[in-house]
Chains A and B, each alone.
Chain A
Amino acid sequence: MIETIDTSLIDWSRAQFALTAMYHWLFVPLTLGLGVIQAVMETIYYKTGNEFWKRTARFWMKLFGINFAIGVATGLILEFEFGTNWSNYSWFVGDIFGAPLAIEGILAFFMEATFIAVMFFGWNKVSKGFHLASTWLTIIGATLSAYWILVANAWMQYPAGMAFNPDTVRNEMVDFWAVALSPVAINKFFHTVLSGWVLGSVFVLGVSSWYLLKKREVEFSLASIKTGAIFGLIASALIVWTGDGSAYQVAQKQPMKLAAMEGLYEGGNGIGLSGIGLLNPGKATYNDQADPFLFNIQIPGMLSFLAERDMNAYVPGIRNLIEGGYPTSGGTAALSANEKIARGKKAIKALSDYKTAVKAKDTEAAKLHRAALDENFDYFGYGYIRDVSELIPNVALTFYSFRVMVILGAYFILLFILALWFEHKDKIKDMRRLQRVCLWSIPLGYIAGQAGWIVAEVGRQPWAIQDILPAGAAISKLDTSSVQITFFLFLILFTLLLIAEIGIMLKAIKKGPEEITEN
Chain B
Amino acid sequence: MDTYNLLQHYWWFLISLLGGLLVFLLFVQGGQSLLFTLGKTEIQQKMMLNSTGRKWEFTFTTLVTFGGAFFASFPLFYSTSFGGAYWVWILILLCFVIQAVSYEYQAKKGNLLGKKTYRIFLWINGVLGSILLGTAVGTFFSGAEFIVNKGQITELAMPVISVWANPWHGLEAVLVVWNVILGLAVFFLARVLALLYFINNIEDADLIPRCRKRLIPEAALFLLFFLTFFVHLLLADGFAVNPDTGEVFMQPYKYFSNLMQMPVVLIVLLIGVCGVLFGIAKSILSSGWKAGIWFAGTGTVLTVMSLLLCAGWNNTAYYPSVADLQSSLTIGNSCSSLFTLKTMSYVSVFIPFVLAYIFYAWRSLDLRKIDSKEMEKSDQVY
Q: Give residues in A with beta carbon < 8 Å to B.
A: 2-5, 65-66, 68-70, 72-77, 79-80, 82-92, 94-99, 101-107, 109-118, 120-126, 130, 134, 165, 168-170, 172-174, 176, 345, 348-349, 351-352, 355, 383-384, 473, 475-479, 482, 486, 489, 493, 496-497, 499-501, 503-508, 511, 514, 516-517, 519
Contacts and interface: CB of A to CB of B under 8 A. Distances in A.
Contacts, number: 308
Contact of A83 (B73, B78, B87): B78
Contacts of A110: 61, 65, 354, 358
B105 A482 contact: no
Contact of A84 (B83, B104, B374): B83
A118 B362 CA distance: 8
Given A174-B339, A482-B169, A84 B86 contact: yes
B65 A383 contact: no
B214 interface: no
A105 B340 contact: no
Nearest to A499: B112
Interface in B139-157: 150-151, 153-157
Nearest to A75: B64
17 contacts: A65-B104, A66-B108, A70-B100, A76-B60, A87-B79, A94-B72, A98-B336, A102-B347, A104-B68, A106-B354, A113-B57, A134-B361, A352-B154, A477-B160, A501-B105, A504-B108, A514-B379
Given A90-B71, A91-B79, A504-B108, A493 B65 contact: no
Nearest to A92: B153
B158 interface: yes
Contacts of A99: 72, 336, 340, 343-344, 347
A352 B151 contact: yes
Contact of B75 (A98, A106, A348, A503): A98
Contact of B337 (A75, A95, A126, A477): A95
Contacts of A103: 68, 72, 344, 347
B113 interface: yes
B93 interface: yes
B160 A69 contact: no
Nearest to B366: A125
Interface of B: 54-55, 57-58, 60-61, 63-65, 67-73, 75-76, 78-84, 86-87, 89-90, 93-94, 96-98, 100-101, 103-105, 108-113, 150-151, 153-164, 167, 169, 336-337, 339-340, 343-344, 347-348, 350-351, 354, 357-358, 361-362, 364-365, 367-368, 374, 377-381
B181 to A, nearest CB: 26
B93 A504 contact: no
B86 A482 contact: yes
Given A125-B367, A478-B169, A4 B100 contact: no
Nearest to A167: B150
A90 B61 contact: no
Given A69-B103, A121-B365, A88 B153 contact: yes
B161 to A, nearest CB: 6
Contacts of B169: 478-479, 482
Given A82-B71, A176-B343, 15 more contacts: A66-B104, A73-B100, A83-B89, A89-B79, A98-B336, A101-B67, A102-B73, A106-B354, A110-B358, A113-B60, A115-B361, A117-B365, A473-B159, A475-B160, A479-B169
B347 A106 contact: yes
A260 to B, nearest CB: 26
A500 B105 contact: yes
Contacts of A2: 157-158
